[in-house]
């Protein structure tokens, strides 16, 4: 008789064709919690290793491919609904976490320190938990726009500022944080306005494959400015590119900059929920947020007791600048708007690109 396979062996065998997305198994316990991690591997891997070393529990991470972004992992979770392999989903955004909640695929759990985090970034039913956010910002090539008085200052200029026609850029708005921002726009400004905005953006700006590609194009000087995430903009700074970062829509009559948190989701009926819950408790702390804030992803802590600021703020926001205004968002409403938004964006922007 052949020996039976452990869950860890089964998962490794069953995903042998996609080992590029699998991390090593950390820890020494026989049972391993499977973590689907959408946060880039270079940022999430060290923290998962820390947890395994501190707890003695095993963690088997699986990462998304750059080509499919978060959507690939979400699709797998949905396909595995009857027999889940994933125990914990570490999402690098929020829209698809809420979609999983609405599909009934998440297990409520109240982490030890959940009440200490802002309510805006937590599910009322405790199915997802936000922490360590990225901001949606404008990255500027300072050689192409040397005068700060000429900088764009609003998200909306990607669509209506003809001074920069063909010289600004945004990511395809069907993945990641750009999809989240699109859903927010549909929910807050209305379907008619949002559709017109994206049709105009397609005419006015270059549409690239992702936020990373937008930041790189601006850093190289292929574009004068673009809409991206703080972590991708920060990487261009670390590469020595002559760039600046603008937090858009800060005027009194504007809504503020969109902040998109990482989210942690316990998967319903998953096999290793005890380890997954322990890992959620470990991650949802100001100490881990501090670590992410001063790391190369330069994330923005949400916990009021966090001691560190994002490195982006330290470098690109003047010490005497007024406090940033963050957009107040009903993310559940944005998730409700996504089906309409996603179908329109796929049909009118992606299929006709």
d(CA 27, CA 51): 9
The residues, any chain, with a CB within 8 Å of residue 300's CB and separated by 6 or more, are 132, 133, 134, 135, 230, 259, 293, 309, 310, 312, 313
Residue 272 phi, psi (nearest 5): -115, 55
Please give the average per-residue pLDDT across 162-167, as a whole number.
96
Q: Look-up: residue for tokens 């049909």?
A: 347
Q: Which pLDDT score is estimated for 7?
A: 42
Whether this prediction's pTM lies above 0.85 is answered by yes
Residue 13 has pLDDT above 80, yes or no: no
d(CA 234, CA 186): 28
Helix axes of 176-189 and 191-204: crossing angle, nearest 10 degrees: 130
236, 218 contact by CB (below 8 A):
yes
Q: Which pLDDT score is estimated for 1?
A: 36
Cα dihedral 36, 39, 42, 46 sign: negative
Residue 29 has pLDDT above 60, yes or no: no
Nearest residue to 202 via CA among 139, 158, 248, 163: 158
d(CA 180, CA 342): 10
How far apart, in Å, do the first and last CA atoms of the chain sit? Answer: 56
Residue 310's pLDDT band (boundaries 50, 70, 90)?
A: very high
Q: Which pLDDT score is estimated for 139?
A: 99
Which CATH number is correct for 134-258+325-350, 3.40.190.10, 3.30.2350.10, 3.40.710.10, 1.10.10.10?
3.40.190.10
Residue 21's pLDDT band (boundaries 50, 70, 90)?
A: low
The residues, any chain, with a CB within 8 Å of residue 104's CB and separated by 6 or more, are 268
- As a whole number, the mean pLDDT across the chain is 91
Share of the chain above pLDDT 70, in %: 90
3-state helix vs strand vs coil in the chain, percent to 5: 45, 20, 40
Q: Which pLDDT score is estimated for 71?
A: 81
Share of the chain above pLDDT 90, in %: 86
Q: Which pLDDT score is estimated for 113?
A: 96
Residue 3's pLDDT band (boundaries 50, 70, 90)?
A: very low
Q: What is the pLDDT of residues 71-96, one digit of tens each?
A: 889 999 999 999 999 999 999 999 99
Q: What is the pLDDT of residues 325-347, one digit of tens each?
A: 999 999 999 999 999 999 999 99
The answer to whether the 7-133+260-316 and 134-258+325-350 domains have the same CATH topology is: yes
User: Where in the chain are the domains?
Assistant: 7-133+260-316, 134-258+325-350
341, 184 contact by CB (below 8 A):
no
Residue 22's pLDDT band (boundaries 50, 70, 90)?
A: low
Please give the full DSSP string across 23-91, using - where no structure is assigned: PPPBSS-SSEEEEEE-S-HHHHHHHHHHHHHHH--EEEEEE--TTTHHHHHHHHHHHTTTS---SEEEE
Residue 10 has pLDDT above 50, yes or no: no
Q: Which pLDDT score is estimated for 221?
A: 99
Q: Which pLDDT score is estimated for 20?
A: 34
Please give the average per-residue pLDDT across 235-256, as a whole number.
98
Q: Which pLDDT score is estimated for 68?
A: 55
For residue 269, with 0-12 CB atoms within 10 Å meaning exposed, 13-18 middle and 19 or more buried, which class applies?
A: exposed
Q: Which pLDDT score is estimated for 5?
A: 33
d(CA 196, CA 201): 8
Helix axes of 176-189 and 331-345: crossing angle, nearest 10 degrees: 110
Q: Look-up: residue for tokens 């600046």?
A: 244
CATH number corresponding to 7-133+260-316: 3.40.190.10
């Amino acid at each position: 008789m052949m020996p039976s396979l452990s869950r860890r062996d089964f998962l490794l065998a069953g995903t042998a064709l996609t080992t590029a997305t699998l991390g090593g198994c950390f820890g020494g316990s026989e049972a391993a919690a499977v973590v689907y991690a959408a946060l880039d591997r270079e940022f999430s891997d060290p923290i998962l290793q820390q947890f395994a070393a501190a707890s003695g529990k095993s963690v088997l991470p699986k990462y998304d491919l750059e080509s499919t972004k978060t959507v690939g992992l979400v699709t797998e979770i949905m396909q595995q609904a009857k027999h889940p392999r994933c125990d914990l989903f570490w999402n690098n955004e929020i829209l698809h976490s809420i979609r999983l909640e609405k599909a009934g695929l998440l297990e409520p759990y109240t982490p030890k320190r959940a009440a200490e985090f802002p309510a805006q970034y937590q599910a009322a039913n405790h199915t997802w938990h936000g922490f360590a956010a990225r901001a949606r910002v404008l990255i500027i090539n300072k050689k192409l726009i040397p005068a700060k008085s000429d900088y764009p200052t609003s998200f909306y200029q990607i669509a209506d500022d003809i001074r920069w026609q063909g010289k600004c850029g945004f990511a395809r708005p069907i993945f990641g944080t750009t999809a989240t921002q699109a859903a927010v726009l549909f929910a807050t400004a209305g379907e008619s306005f949002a559709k017109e905005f994206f049709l105009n953006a397609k005419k006015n700006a270059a549409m690239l494959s992702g936020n990373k590609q937008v930041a790189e194009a601006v850093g190289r000087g292929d574009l004068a400015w673009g809409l991206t995430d703080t972590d991708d903009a920060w990487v261009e700074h670390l590469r020595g590119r002559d760039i600046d970062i603008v937090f858009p829509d800060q005027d009194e009559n504007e809504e503020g900059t969109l902040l998109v948190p990482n989210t942690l989701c316990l998967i319903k009926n998953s096999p290793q929920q005890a380890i997954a819950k322990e890992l959620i408790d470990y991650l949802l702390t100001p100490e881990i947020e501090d670590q992410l804030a001063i790391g190369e992803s330069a994330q923005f802590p949400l916990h009021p007791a966090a001691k560190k600021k994002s490195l982006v703020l330290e470098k690109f926001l003047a010490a005497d600048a007024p406090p940033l205004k963050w957009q107040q968002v009903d993310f559940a409403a944005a998730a409700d708007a996504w089906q309409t938004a996603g179908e329109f964006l796929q049909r009118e922007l992606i299929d006709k690109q």
